[in-house]
């Protein structure tokens, strides 16, 4: 289980990286059941990206991988074309990262949106790396 303290550390690390690169973003931390644990909308973050941050985290936790890895299964011509339409809608592009306990159990995910795709990914990676000081490991 991801604790609120861990979720706050994840958000703080993501916000710090976002400030460093000058990109206001929305950061979502979900628990293993894909339920909201913590959320931050930085000042100036695009409102339309709130749902995308949630979707990226949800995609990552439901499939226990990174959100962009899901694209390989649902893109045109892939084995599960249109998979992104399942589960109430997925966000299969960079910015969502699953979080795992040291024993390999998924404990949640972080999702970031508001910048360009590479920026979202960079911020999500920084946020996920914060769990190294906790009792969990990111999948990055």
- pTM as predicted: 0.91
Of 83 and 37, the one with more pLDDT: 37
Longest CA span, the chain? 42
- Structure tokens, 133: 């000081």
pLDDT tens for 53-90 read: 999 999 999 999 999 999 988 888 888 888 888 888 89
For residue 73, count other CB atoms closer than 10 A to its CB.
16
For residue 131, what pLDDT band results from cuts at 50, 70 and 90?
A: confident
């Amino acid at each position: 289980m991801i604790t609120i303290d861990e979720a706050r550390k994840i958000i703080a690390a993501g916000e710090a990286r976002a400030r460093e690169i000058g990109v206001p973003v929305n950061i979502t931390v979900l628990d293993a059941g894909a339920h909201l644990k913590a959320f931050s909308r930085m000042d100036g973050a695009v409102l339309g990206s709130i749902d995308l941050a949630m979707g990226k985290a949800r995609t990552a936790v439901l499939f226990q991988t990174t959100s962009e890895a899901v694209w390989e299964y649902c893109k045109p011509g892939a084995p599960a074309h249109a998979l992104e339409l399942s589960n109430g809608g997925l966000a299969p592009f960079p910015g969502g990262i699953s979080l795992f306990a040291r024993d390999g159990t998924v404990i949640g995910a972080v999702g970031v949106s508001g910048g360009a795709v590479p920026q979202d990914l960079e911020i999500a990676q920084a946020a996920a790396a914060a769990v190294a000081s906790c009792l969990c490991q990111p999948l990055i």
